[in-house]
Amino acid sequence: MDEKTSTSLLYLDGVSVSFDGFKALNSLSFVVEPGELRAIIGPNGAGKTTMMDIITGKTRPDSGQVFFNGDIDLTKKDEADIAQLGIGRKFQKPTVFESHTVWDNIELALNRKRGVFSTLFYRLTPADKTRIEEILETVRMTARKDDLAANLSHGQKQWLEIGMLLAQEPKLLLVDEPVAGMTDAETAETAILLKEIAKTRSVVVVEHDMGFIRDLGVKVTCLAEGSVLAEGSIDFVSNDPKVIENYLGR
Amino acid sequence: MITQMLFSRHEKKTVWAVFLILLAAALVPLANLLIPEGSAFHVPGYLVPLLGKYLCYALLALALDLVWGYCGILSLGHGAFFALGGYAMGMYLMRQIGDRGVYANPLLPDFMVFLNWQELPWYWYGFNHFAFAALMVVLVPGLLAFVFGWFAFRSRVTGVYLSIITQAMTYALLLAFFRNEMGFGGNNGLTDFKEILGFNVQAGGTRAALFAATAIALALALVLSSAIVRSKYGKVLVGVRDAESRTRFLGYRVENMKLFIFTVSAMMAGVAGALYVPQVGIINPGEFAPANSIEVVIWTAVGGRGTLIGPIIGAILVNFGKSIFTAAFPEFWLFALGALFVATTLFLPKGVVGTVQQFIARRKEQKKADAVEQAYQDKAAAKAESQLATLEPQAAE
């Protein structure tokens, strides 16, 4: 293990995985520093979602190393372990508990003991109540706390899911296409929210919307065919001839 | 902690249902034993075990609803847990027969004598004690569910595949219990019971007491289920049902969540089976039939899954219908049941109780909307009036 693994929050080295002969990731190496906000772009099938699956334990790599927080080997853990270690994940399609209220959604996401018996005998403490109220305030859902999540608009569901991830208190947040299907105003607000969140933790955002990535103004990694094509500022990456050829279009 | 959990706030409906069930536990036996036969309020003797049977089915449906309605696990093998509980009780009742059997063997049940067995198989030991049998009534189904669930949920078998293997499980048990060598009476099962806890199982008083015991068990199960589904654990269960991967990525161990409710539910089903056997007087491998487990699903769907009183109402309604229907047109019952299931799926996807709840919720929404509309109109009228008032002096000029 070199120095890079111990100082970085997330460290992927030479990760490969293939499904039925299709190489979804091809020796991918990727590092996220503590407190960093990183954007990932790339054409369909570049391996963006597979990379998130590897980090969150949904898929096991065929080869390569994945370390979190220095020395925790993520390839040996499952989804629940990894979530409890402090990696939160937002899906591409907003995934909230539709038959629960907004409040219950946040309460379930709260970073508390998650065993059968601790949840069976759980009682809402004043501290937890305050925390839930804070999160609702942050994602601007206070007025809708008693509504069923099913009755929220698409954009509101995305925000609720981000709120749930905040409640999870992750060290690293993986966000898959947060602004897909949002209005321009919602998109701009989401950029502000993500920047706010990134002040206290690392965030990795996968997004197709170049305007949104420009709004974020952060380091960009472009993936293609399962490995890193280019990395740097948005202007640097979008002027890279390989990126133009593979992704942005000639 | 546990008592606090059990007595913490329940929904008003649940409290009412528990009250009604307990009322039945008191009134049906009284109306059977104390009110003279000529009176309109007299409950005839044959009706008491029949009603008791309905309540056993209701308990079974409630157990299924915990896993299906709240956790999304469609078990097509809950009849197996019910039958296992029934067999545990049946074994106790067989041992109580003693030397009053046809072969008058003080130790061996008749079917063992008939098979020329010389001694009692080891797994029949202990069943002469009621307490031991009662323990087995919950432990055996619980253990089977635990082992089955441990493997199934860990390997992430879900959806239709899980339903199929639960169906295979009950079918395998059906075949096993049919075999005479298993030592559970084979084809004929266990029957000819004489006494339970020293009371004649045929006597009116015993039947009334069994009815009351069943109703109390159902009421307790309802309180327990309500406590479970209203806890944070219950909310996690619904989360697993609606968005399993989201629950996983929030850090919950979905397999443990499922395993716990599956085991609790199997134990409840076992209790239902144990109460069923002395009231109908027989347990045989037919109870393991896959069709039985599917019927439970239909009761639950008709009543309304994902509600607590739905499966209870569904089980009682459908079985009441079955009693009447099979008496009038016996050969058409299966068609009627099939039609009922299709109709429920098409027209009442939320079941009877779910649909009523939805209707009430809509009425409330409508009332709220009406109130808002009314307020808006009042405001508009007031505004128009004030405008008129300012206009009038001008008109006067």
Residue B133 belongs to a domain with what CATH number?
1.10.3470
Domains in chain A with CATH codes = 3-95+170-248 (3.40.50.300)
Q: How far is CA B125 from CA A95, A135, B183, in A?
A: 53, 59, 12
Asked if residue B377 belongs to a domain, the reply is yes
Asked if residue B397 belongs to a domain, the reply is no
What is the dihedral angle through the alpha carbons of B314, B173, B193, B198, rounded to the nearest 10 degrees?
A: -80
Residue of A nearest to B243 (CA): A97
Using a CB-CB distance cutoff of 8 angstroms, which residues of chain B are in contact with residue A88? 249
Q: How far is CA B186 from CA B23, B119, B183, B195, B285, in A?
A: 39, 17, 7, 22, 7
Q: What angle do CA B76, B80, B83 make, to 5 degrees?
A: 140
Residue B21 corresponds to which tokens in the numbers above? 């069930």
Single-letter code of the amino acid located at B369: A
Nearest Cα of chain A lies from the Cα of B361 at a distance, in angstroms, of 13
Residue A166: name the closest of A191, A203, A192 by CA.
A203
Long-range contacts of A1-6 (CB under 8 A, 24+ apart): A1/A67, A1/A71, A4/A31, A5/A65, A5/A67, A5/A70, A5/A71, A6/A70, A6/A71
Asked if A121 and B239 come within 8 Å (Cβ–Cβ), the reply is no
Would you state the pLDDT for residue B8?
Answer: 66
Domain that holds residue B41: 2-349
Using a CB-CB distance cutoff of 8 angstroms, which residues of chain B are in contact with residue A91? 245-246
* Same domain for B369 and B263: no
* Same domain for B162 and B244: yes
Asked if residue B174 belongs to a domain, the reply is yes
Burial class for A16, CB neighbours closer than 10 Å (0-12, 13-18, 19+): middle
Asked if residue B395 belongs to a domain, the reply is no
* Same domain for B215 and B362: no
Asked if residue B394 belongs to a domain, the reply is no
Asked if residue B396 belongs to a domain, the reply is no
pLDDT in tens, A148-160: 999 998 888 988 9
> What does the alpha-carbon distance between residue A176 and residue A57 come to, in Å, rounded to a whole number?
16
Using a CB-CB distance cutoff of 8 angstroms, which residues of chain A are in contact with residue B260? 116
Asked if residue B310 belongs to a domain, the reply is yes
Mention every residue, 6+ apart, whose C-beta is less than 8 A from residue B368.
none
| Residue labelled with tokens 């989360």 | B239
> What does the alpha-carbon distance between residue B265 and residue B259 come to, in Å, rounded to a whole number?
10
Asked if B248 and A80 come within 8 Å (Cβ–Cβ), the reply is yes
Q: How far is CA B313 from CA B47, B55, B58, B138, B169, in A?
A: 18, 10, 7, 24, 28
pLDDT in tens, A74-105: 999 999 999 999 999 998 888 999 999 999 99
Asked if A122 and B232 come within 8 Å (Cβ–Cβ), the reply is yes
Q: Is A243 on the interface with B (CB under 8 A)?
A: no
Q: Is B155 on the interface with A (CB under 8 A)?
A: no
* Same domain for B176 and B63: yes
Asked if B243 and A95 come within 8 Å (Cβ–Cβ), the reply is yes
> What does the alpha-carbon distance between residue B176 and residue B124 come to, in Å, rounded to a whole number?
17
Query: Which segments of B179-249 does DSSP mark as H helices, in order?
Result: 204-230, 232-242, 244-249
pLDDT in tens, B258-302: 999 999 999 999 999 999 999 999 999 999 999 999 999 999 999
* Same domain for B232 and B297: yes
Asked if B235 and A108 come within 8 Å (Cβ–Cβ), the reply is yes
Name which of A122-131, A192-201, A240-249, B60-69 the model is least confident about.
A240-249
Asked if B233 and A122 come within 8 Å (Cβ–Cβ), the reply is yes
Would you state the pLDDT for residue B393?
Answer: 56
**What ipTM describes this predicted complex?**
0.89
| Residue labelled with tokens 């009284």 | B30
* Same domain for B380 and B334: no
Would you state the pLDDT for residue B397?
Answer: 45
> What does the alpha-carbon distance between residue A148 and residue B312 come to, in Å, rounded to a whole number?
26
* Same domain for B139 and B36: yes
Asked if B239 and A89 come within 8 Å (Cβ–Cβ), the reply is no
Nearest Cα of chain A lies from the Cα of B235 at a distance, in angstroms, of 8
pLDDT in tens, A14-34: 999 998 888 889 999 989 999
Residue contacts between A and B (CB atoms, under 8 Å): 77
Nearest Cα of chain B lies from the Cα of A38 at a distance, in angstroms, of 21
Asked if A84 and B251 come within 8 Å (Cβ–Cβ), the reply is yes
> What does the alpha-carbon distance between residue A98 and residue A151 come to, in Å, rounded to a whole number?
8
Instruction: Round the average pLDDT of chain A to a whole number and report it.
Output: 89
- Within the 216-235 window of chain B, which residues sit less than 8 Å (CB to CB) from chain A? 228, 231-233, 235
Would you state the pLDDT for residue B379?
Answer: 80
Using a CB-CB distance cutoff of 8 angstroms, which residues of chain B are in contact with residue A116? 233, 256-257, 260
Would you state the pLDDT for residue A177?
Answer: 86
Checking if the pLDDT of A184 tops 90, the result is no
Selected residue of A52, A90, A121, A175 to mutate for chain B interface (largest B Cβ count, 10 A): A121
Using a CB-CB distance cutoff of 8 angstroms, which residues of chain A are in contact with residue B228? 120
* Same domain for B366 and B339: no
Using a CB-CB distance cutoff of 8 angstroms, which residues of chain B are in contact with residue A129? none
| Residue labelled with tokens 């293939």 | A18
- Which residue stretches of chain B have pLDDT < 70? 1-8, 389-397
Asked if A83 and B248 come within 8 Å (Cβ–Cβ), the reply is yes
Asked if residue B117 belongs to a domain, the reply is yes
Would you state the pLDDT for residue B40?
Answer: 84
Asked if A83 and B251 come within 8 Å (Cβ–Cβ), the reply is yes
Most confident of A37-51, A214-228, B40-54, B81-95: B81-95
> What does the alpha-carbon distance between residue B266 and residue B270 come to, in Å, rounded to a whole number?
6
Asked if B252 and A100 come within 8 Å (Cβ–Cβ), the reply is no
Number of compact structural domains in chain B: 2
Would you state the pLDDT for residue B396?
Answer: 47
Asked if B256 and A116 come within 8 Å (Cβ–Cβ), the reply is yes
Checking if the pLDDT of A250 tops 70, the result is no
* Same domain for B204 and B88: yes
Specify the DSSP element, H or E, that contains A119: helix A116-120
